[in-house]
Amino acid sequence: MKRLLLVCLAVVVLSFAAAYSRNQGPPVNDLVIQVEERNPWTHLRMNNDANEFRFAIVSDRTGGHRARVFSQAVEQLNLMQPEFVLSVGDLIEGYTEAPERMAEEWKEFQGYVCKLQMPFFYVPGNHDLTNAAMEKHWKEKFGRRYYSFVYRNVLFLILSTEDGKGGQIGAEQLAFVKQTLQQNSEARWTIVALHKPLWTQDNLDTNGWLEAEKLLAGRPYTVFCGHIHRYQKFVRQGQNYYQLATTGGGSRMRGVPYGEFDHIAWVTMKKDGPTIANVMLDGIYPEDMRKLVTEEAGVPEINRKPCHPVRGVVLLDGCPVPNAQLVFHLVNPETKKLIRAGDALIEADGSFTMSTYKANDGAPAGEYVVTVANSGPFEGGTFVPSKHAIPTAYAKPETSSLKVEVRAGKNEFALELKK
């Protein structure tokens, strides 16, 4: 009789446990929650696949760096907690052969990145490897200029575009690329980080990028670069190439329509490829909502000529050409050579405001050749050509008939284009 009672009690306990288990539901991605017939949620598939990870990319810090931007970005990255941080070059101002100055600039930069709570991966830019002395200094401090690593079966290919003047990838580096890709043929994705967008350069046929693309062909990959200080997305070989803006580097800072802003690229590596979120630095605050303030000094504004306000209107056969790009090319009074100076996007009513060093600061006094081209507005990460049939002669300074002279004081120009 006693044994029968024990058996009945055990059955009751197991039945209760089974019922509770049905309501409670099995742990899903470490989640323990009571599941009923109707539940106040969408689903329980947590967004935390073991193969997914998140990292951040910082862009150009120099080229006339501005005060308290990159150092603040370091503090903001610690708030956001990526697994690691990648760069795309131009970390110091460089362009020097003085050992003391090199050492001081690298000491300053490393003083910032050493505060990161996660790894930081260096990528060299033209400001970091300007000459033989700086290349020697880099080798003494960091060793390799190009390298690779694999994280969760994703290959990270770190390249140097400074193998020669004008930007290129040399034969020795291409051999490294070939060997690395062969050794990692089973990688589920490849992330390429380099400084210059070699695919946009005039020396594309000889700078080594076409050979690198041939080696990358047939595998899923994404490319990140900097150098131009303007955000833009390209698609080549069916793959996405991202040219990042700045993380403190010299910029007119005219905002999204111009691709000019300070940001970090937040990359979530998913099963089917990376998801990119551009996070503006002026939108990252700590819990107390106090703006982060650091002591980083900027580069003095030297060799800048005084600017005078320049506004105007551009019409094609009497009609505005919104979203076309207007460029002022300064005529050197001695050599008569042209130097690209300021630029502007034309507004819907045909008006424009010129910028040379800063947003809407105008242009220095002098004679200019003006070009107008269908570069288009910034939409979806790319510059979309405008729909106006602007004659191609206006797009090149060698063939444009538009000329203006900027003088001290306010300047207003009415530029008439003819089909």
Give tens-digit pLDDT for 198-208.
999 999 999 99
Residues 135 and 262 in one domain: yes
Beta bridge partners of 311: 353, 412
How far apart, in whole angstroms, are the C-alpha atoms of residue 169 and residue 241? 17
Residues 266 and 391 in one domain: no
The one-letter amino acid code at 336 reads K
CB–CB of 307/357 below 8 Å?
A: yes
Residues 118 and 230 in one domain: yes
Report H helices in 217-367.
Answer: none
Residues 175 and 218 in one domain: yes
CA angle 90/91/95 to nearest 5° reads 65
Residues 202 and 70 in one domain: yes
CB-count exposure of residue 110 (10 Å: 0-12, 13-18, 19+) = middle
Residue 64 domain-assigned?
yes
Residue 38 domain-assigned?
yes
Residues 205 and 162 in one domain: yes
- pLDDT for 133 beyond 50: yes
pLDDT single digits (tens) 256-296? 989 999 999 999 999 999 999 999 999 999 999 998 899 99
Q: Do you know the residue count of the chain?
A: 419
Residue 231 domain-assigned?
yes
Residue 241 domain-assigned?
yes
CB-count exposure of residue 354 (10 Å: 0-12, 13-18, 19+) = buried
What CATH number corresponds to the domain at position 72?
3.60.21.10
Look at the chain and report how many structural domains it folds into: 3
Residues 57 and 38 in one domain: no
How far apart, in whole angstroms, are the C-alpha atoms of residue 403 and residue 330? 10
Residue 294 domain-assigned?
no
Range of the domain at 406: 307-417
Residues 1 and 110 in one domain: no
Residue 161 domain-assigned?
yes
CB–CB of 339/328 below 8 Å?
A: no
pLDDT of residue 419: 87
Distance of CA 31 to the CA centre of its chain: 36
pLDDT single digits (tens) 153-191? 999 999 999 998 889 999 999 999 999 999 999 999 999
Dihedral sign for Cα 284, 290, 294, 300, please: positive
From residue 175, give the alpha-carbon distance in Å to each of 12, 158, 210, 398. 71, 14, 14, 40
Residues 39 and 100 in one domain: no
Answer yes or no: pTM beyond 0.85: yes
- pLDDT for 377 beyond 50: no
CB-count exposure of residue 348 (10 Å: 0-12, 13-18, 19+) = exposed
Residue 336 domain-assigned?
yes
The residue with tokens 């009497």 is 318
- pLDDT for 32 beyond 50: yes
Residue 289 domain-assigned?
no
